[in-house]
């Protein structure tokens, strides 16, 4: 695995993911330990650790895709709102050291605790097919 980085391997298609969007720069896929139904990660295929070592140009390209995917999720799922979360460093809760943006769908009054819990793989597979964005 390049860099020993799981998200590089997912971005390169070496490890499977519940993909919902892909283009030349980014991949978006469901988080396998979701905070909420439809919790999605957007990563650049190119490795960087966090926001400080990612170029402004790349950040601009990523955030455009985050918006595109979030907009699609909001239209496709029952979803009243969403959080965008991007952790930098272990102190901030970053567990995978390849920059990623979380899109966390929210429902009115859900009082979400932002705790990971293992997702149901069959449900994630079904959901990824429902959310798939065609280029």
Catalytic residue at 115? no
Q: Active-site residue among 72, 98, 100, 102? A: 100
Among 93, 110, 125, 126, binds ligand AMP (CB under 6 A): 93
Interaction of residue 96 with Zn ion, rule CB under 5 A: no
Q: Using CB under 6 A, pick the residue from 4, 95, 117, 135 that binds ligand AMP.
A: 95
DSSP tally for the chain: helices H, then strands E: 3, 5
- How many CA atoms does the CB half-sphere of 31 hold within 13 Å? 24
Q: Which of 94, 106, 132, 133 is the binder for ligand AMP (CB under 6 A)?
A: 94
Q: Which residue in 12, 112, 83, 94 sits closest to 53, CA to CA?
A: 94
Query: Alpha-carbon distance 88 to 106, whole Å?
Result: 22
* Residue for token pair 């991007």: 86
Is 58 a binding residue for Zn ion by CB under 5 A? The answer is: no
Instruction: Give the residue numbers marked as catalytic.
Output: 100
Residues making contact with Zn ion (CB under 5 A):
5, 7-8, 47, 98
């Amino acid at each position: 695995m390049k860099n020993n980085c799981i998200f590089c391997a997912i971005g390169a298609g070496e490890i499977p993911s519940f993909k919902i969007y892909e283009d030349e720069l980014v991949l978006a896929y469901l988080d396998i330990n979701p905070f909420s139904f439809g919790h999605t990660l957007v990563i650049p295929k190119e490795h960087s650790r966090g926001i400080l070592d990612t170029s402004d140009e790349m950040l601009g390209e990523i955030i455009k895709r985050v918006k595109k995917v979030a907009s699609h999720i909001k239209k496709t799922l029952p979803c009243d709102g969403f959080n965008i979360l991007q952790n930098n460093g272990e102190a901030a809760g970053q567990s995978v050291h390849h920059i990623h943006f979380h899109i966390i769908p929210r429902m009115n009054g859900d009082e979400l605790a932002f705790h990971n819990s293992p997702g149901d793989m069959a449900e994630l597979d079904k959901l990824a097919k429902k959310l798939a964005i065609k280029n």
